[in-house]
A and B are shown apart, each in its own frame.
Chain A
Amino acid sequence: EVQLVDSGGGLVHPGGSLRISCAASGFTFSTYWMHWVRQAPGKGLVWVSRIDSDGGSTNYADSVRGRFTISRDNAKKTLYLQMDSLRAEDTAVYYCARSMADSAMFPFDHWGQGVLVTVSS
């Protein structure tokens, strides 16, 4: 069974940093592109970032480019999102999601349960 388990959320001050993780199981993690999607309280889904299967190619939404870094450890079957220079508007539930196949054009067929990141003083 495919499972994605998000972890690492919490409260952080504006300007601070946080790293969230997504542990994968039940599939060959190293062959799938992965994404982060966020959802502010009461709002819709917003794509944040994606990484290809070997970590050699990444892309980011304009709102987080230069502040967030996506990475993966295929040996540990884990996806990461390093979030720096956090702002109040980054407050959201963050979900990891798997692309159905090895391209960003494919849909997200499995999602983590999400972690809440709250940026507040």
Chain B
Amino acid sequence: SYVLTQPPSVSVAPGKTARLTCEGNNIVFKSVHWYQQKPGQAPGLVIYYDNDRPSGIPERFSGSNSGNTATLTVARVEAGDEADYYCQVWDSSSDHVVFGGGTKLTVL
């Protein structure tokens, strides 16, 4: 089965740029979606199809996908961005949805 690997935690100072990675075998050939989950809340979509933003998501959030790594970039990080972030793909070979283990973004 397809596996997505995310670092457990990333820390960044306010106003700086956070880069959250998601590794998977030839992930470049898959569409990657990213979700933000704050404590006690359901997840919410922040990036889909590698680099599209749903309405209402700030332009500070962007994504990229190349080789074996997809990246969610959060520019000019704010305290309110502190959350868990999950990458997700659809594995066509098994017709299963796969989530990464999640990264906790801490704003210092």
Contact = CB atoms under 8 A, between A and B. Distances in A.
Contacts of B100: 44
Interface stretch (A23-31, A76-84, A110-118): A110-118
Interface in A1-27: none
B40 to A, nearest CB: 10
B95 to A, nearest CB: 5
A41 to B, nearest CB: 12
Given A45-B99, A111-B42, A111-B43, A104 B90 contact: yes
Contacts of A61: 96
A59 B98 CA distance: 13
Interface residues of B, number: 25
Q: Is the interface of B mostly helix, strand, loop or mixed?
A: strand
Interface string A24-58: 00000000000101000000111100100000000
A98 to B, nearest CB: 10
Q: Size band of the A side of the interface?
A: 20 to 34
B48 interface: yes
A107 B98 contact: no
A68 interface: no
A105 interface: yes
Interface of B: 1, 31, 33, 35, 37, 42-45, 48-49, 54, 84, 86, 88, 90, 92, 95-102
Interface of A: 35, 37, 44-47, 50, 59, 61-62, 95, 100, 104-105, 107-109, 111-114
Given A46-B99, A50-B97, A105-B92, 11 more contacts: A35-B97, A44-B99, A45-B86, A45-B88, A45-B102, A59-B96, A95-B43, A105-B31, A105-B90, A107-B45, A108-B88
